[in-house]
Structure 1
């Protein structure tokens, strides 16, 4: 109880210090603006304020184009245990301008596994080109997502029960020469839309 209370106090103090530091830095910059407000320097300092603000803050989701949404949703939910979050159909001028395609109509499904979200998009119109049948891991359009499992042997048997398309011959141990992933067992499989996944 005491430890939790102590941590809360520490967190509050740290938050106060951080906010105070930010406020002091902003006050310093603002005083520089006031000092030079009748000169071109004021515009430079104001630009510096804007430039110091973070623009990119997080990865919101990862998007993938699929050729058959129903089949893709079935694969991600039944085989990989994702949960469907939303399922919408969109069209209109804004989406045509966003996508750079005339007459675009999309079905967009968001799915979640743990804290991560993926966004699947099927172009209802216009239809896109399929991924070549002879695609390999070194092709430029190759993409993958890595999914963590607690037991590779059980996960592999689960995948085999769904007769998934193999990319790897079987689960492989990452060698010690790859220090960031040494010892991890990984397996590549292909989704119904030829997008490969890694289970590890």
Structure 2
């Protein structure tokens, strides 16, 4: 790879309540907070194409990539709950060593799409929704 070739830095998830979402990803997935910061100003607003935008950010440690949670002001209108087969749908993928143990330890208030499943490829998967409805795939490869 050339030094100018793109490399994964982070996966971003826009949230409504940064503190609640940091607590969820910390408590459910054990992700440590690497940093918290705010960004504003004209260059930021122009860069994200949101007039007058400011953002509060948290970077979480997910191993080889960071999970970036960001709360914007102003906040856009809410969208409906995403479905995986919708064009443009996104999800965060996190791996665990033992999916059944992870599932057994989940709090009853964590919404899942199904029990753990084994796909045709042999991968074990489980999808959960975070408190704001964002999809997270938990897999045991």
Both structures adopt the same fold (TM-score exceeding 0.5):
yes
Q: Deviations over 1:97-125 (max 9, x none)?
A: 111121111101110122321111110x2
Task: Please say if 1:165 is aligned against 2:114.
Answer: no
Shift in Å, 1:93: 0.9
Between Structure 1 and Structure 2, whose CA radius of gyration is higher? Answer: 1
Please provide the CA RMSD for this pair.
1.6
The aligned counterpart of 2:80 is 132
**CA contact under 8 A between 1:165 and 1:189: conserved in structure 2?**
yes
Structure 1 unaligned spans of 5+: 1-52, 176-181
Shift of 1:162: 4.8
Alpha-carbon distance between aligned partners in 1 of 2:83 and 2:62, rounded to the nearest angstrom: 26
Structure scoring higher RCO (CA < 8 A, sep ≥ 6) equals 2
Any stretches of 5+ residues in structure 2 without a counterpart? none
Change (3 A) 1:136 1:57: closer
Superposition pairs for residues 142-181 of structure 1, below 5 Å? 142-159=89-106, 161-167=107-113, 169-175=114-120
- Kindly report structure 1 stretches of 4+ aligned residues shifted beyond 4 Å: none
Q: Normalised by the size of structure 2, how large is the TM-score?
A: 0.89
| Correspondence list, 1:28-39, <5 A | none
- Name whichever structure is richer in strand by fraction: 2
Q: Does 1:193 align with 2:132?
A: yes
1:62 aligns to 2:1 (yes or no): no
1:78 aligns with 2:24: no
Q: 1:81, CA displacement in angstroms? A: 0.7
Q: Is 1:131–1:194's contact at 8 Å kept on the other side of the alignment?
A: no
CA shift digits 1:55-94 (9 cap, x unpaired): 3331111111111111110111000110001111111111
User: Relative to total residues, which structure has the larger helix share, 1 or 2?
Assistant: 1
